[in-house]
């Protein structure tokens, strides 16, 4: 078993120890003798406060399952997960006060405007009207959301504009940990860079701990100082890009894509093509 060199339960923002998770199979697959591998298999790692960590892997590697466990949306079958010392299963309500999550498909009240959605969310987080207005206005401006879009129904906005609102909503609660699950997938290049810039600024200017789940290796290297590689539910690499190059005997010029290929024998392009063939 690969155990992260940074595995340390002391003073961790996130502490994951020997976590495993398997999903139940359909009756048809069981009858056909199809056996699905576990989504996560004995994964251990720790993230220190204010770290920026990217979890990378192809489809089915277990990265989204791990993020969902951290977000208290899924429970592990085995092992222990703590956020600032609090168990994500037994103390889920308390853990949610430390975290917020942005997923690839954010949910909104689609007939309401971005501003109405943000005010509603801010009230749930216990923010006053003035706090919501000041923080939301500043964040919307930094993300470049046009003024005319702020008061239109959400279902009239582009995918990129909706994702910007999701980022703002997640930051309204001033979370200690921001979980980003494929936050820029499907965005146009300009929107993608605007989202990335705000994440970098928030991490640089605050005590925010960032955990990014992505298949975009360039984004992972740009936003995060540490890369965790998952493959078939197992943690097979953990370190800075330079650490991973050294561990695998690669030159300093080796790209993160080439590092990933060396470690897993697969590329993200091959994964995309296999999914297209399956569909």
Q: pLDDT tens digit string along 188-247?
A: 888 888 888 888 888 888 889 999 998 888 889 889 999 999 999 999 999 999 999 998
Query: For 143, which DSSP code?
Result: T
> Averaged over 88-101, what is the pLDDT?
92
Tens of pLDDT, residue by residue over 99-155, are 988 887 667 888 888 889 888 888 887 888 888 888 888 888 887 788 888 888 888
- The pLDDT, as a whole number, for residue 53 is 96
Helix (H) or strand (E) holding 31: helix 27-31
Q: What are the phi and psi torsion angles at 40 (to 5°)? A: -135, 140
Mean pLDDT for the chain overall? 84
- Is 28 or 222 the better-scoring residue by pLDDT? 222
What are the distances in angstroms from CA 235 to CA 19, 62, 99? 11, 9, 23
Q: Is the dihedral of CA 159, 160, 166, 172 positive or negative?
A: negative
Sheet holding 234-239, edge to edge: 99-102, 177-181, 209-214, 52-56, 226-231, 234-239
CA distance linking residue 6 with residue 24, whole number of Å:
32
Q: Residue 226: its pLDDT value, please?
A: 95
Distances (CA, A) of 190 to 120, 148, 164, 184, 195: 28, 18, 12, 11, 9
In the prediction, which pLDDT does 5 show? 45
């Amino acid at each position: 078993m690969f155990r992260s060199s940074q595995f340390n339960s002391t003073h961790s923002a996130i502490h994951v120890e020997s976590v495993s998770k398997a999903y139940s199979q359909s009756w048809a697959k069981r009858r056909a003798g199809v056996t699905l591998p576990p989504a996560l298999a004995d994964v251990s790692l720790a993230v220190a406060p204010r770290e920026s960590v990217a979890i990378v892997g192809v489809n089915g590697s277990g990265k989204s399952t791990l993020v969902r466990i951290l977000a208290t949306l899924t429970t592990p079958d085995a092992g222990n997960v703590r956020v600032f010392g609090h168990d994500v299963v037994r103390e889920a309500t308390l853990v949610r006060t430390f975290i917020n999550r942005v997923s690839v498909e954010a949910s909104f009240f689609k007939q309401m405007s971005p501003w109405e959605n943000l005010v509603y969310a801010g009230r749930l987080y216990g923010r006053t009207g003035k706090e919501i207005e000041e923080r939301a206005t500043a964040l919307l401006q930094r993300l470049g959301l046009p003024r005319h879009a702020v008061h239109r129904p959400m279902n009239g906005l582009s995918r990129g504009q909706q994702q910007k609102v999701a980022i703002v909503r997640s930051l309204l609660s001033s979370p200690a940990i921001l979980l980003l699950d494929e936050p820029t997938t499907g965005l146009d290049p300009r929107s993608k860079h605007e989202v990335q810039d705000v994440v970098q600024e928030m991490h640089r200017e605050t005590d925010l701990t960032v955990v990014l789940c992505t298949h975009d290796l360039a984004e992972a290297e740009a936003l995060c100082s540490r890369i965790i590689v998952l493959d078939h539910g197992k943690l097979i690499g953990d370190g800075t890009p330079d650490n991973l190059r050294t561990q695998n005997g690669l030159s300093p010029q080796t790209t993160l894509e080439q590092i990933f290929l060396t470690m897993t024998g697969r590329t993200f392009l091959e994964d995309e093509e296999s999914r297209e063939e399956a569909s």
